[in-house]
Amino acid sequence: MHELASTRTLLLNSSYEPMRIVSWQKALILWFQGKVEVLEYHQIFARSVRSNHQLPSILRLKTYVRSRSRGDIRFSRENVYIRDDYTCQYCYEVYPTRLLTLDHVIPASKDGKKTWTNVVTACRECNQKKAARTPEQAKMPLKTPPRVPSWLPVVQWELKPGTVPPAWLQYLASKKVG
């Protein structure tokens, strides 16, 4: 059962692409302003003096908003883990965050940069094994070539695993591209 305070709303573009997650207060404001249509509701109500509002779970903008460009997604440790699905890119296993680290594909000692396209998720063991070598030198092929992520982490970085309302999944899963 969700607490009112932690209730959030998934905001979709008019094209049904997820844009971001907003507080329920922000969701009600958008709704009252007539900028969105409600696709799904939470089974949660917010009471005010005069009325009782069922809180929206998924909103869709009536007008298309151009989403942020790819480069705007913040480069951070957590976002690299999210992009790589918490999977070591060398042994292809999923690990809890405390056992993960970031690996420079082209080692920093060989001028490899700390960027989306040169940093991947690795478990500590693989990270040590690979050491200051390229994947080719270490004979440790990457699971997926690292890329600048598309929109998905923009939404996901705000979510803790297991807290995603089931109704959201069809919108999050179907767009997992790039």
* Interface with Zn ion (CB under 5 A): 88, 90-91, 123, 126
Residue 157, classed as helix, strand or coil, is coil
Residue of 99, 101, 139, 147 whose CA lies nearest to 121: 101
Q: Which is nearer to Zn ion, 93 or 158 (CB)?
A: 93
State in angstroms the smallest separation of the CB of 142 from Zn ion: 11
Query: In whole angstroms, what is the distance from residue 27 CA to residue 9 CA?
Result: 6
State in angstroms the smallest separation of the CB of 122 from Zn ion: 6
Q: Which is nearer to Zn ion, 37 or 125 (CB)?
A: 125
Q: Which is nearer to Zn ion, 46 or 91 (CB)?
A: 91
Residue of 33, 20, 23 whose CA lies nearest to 55: 23
State in angstroms the smallest separation of the CB of 89 from Zn ion: 8
Alpha carbons within 13 angstroms on the beta-carbon side of residue 52 total 3
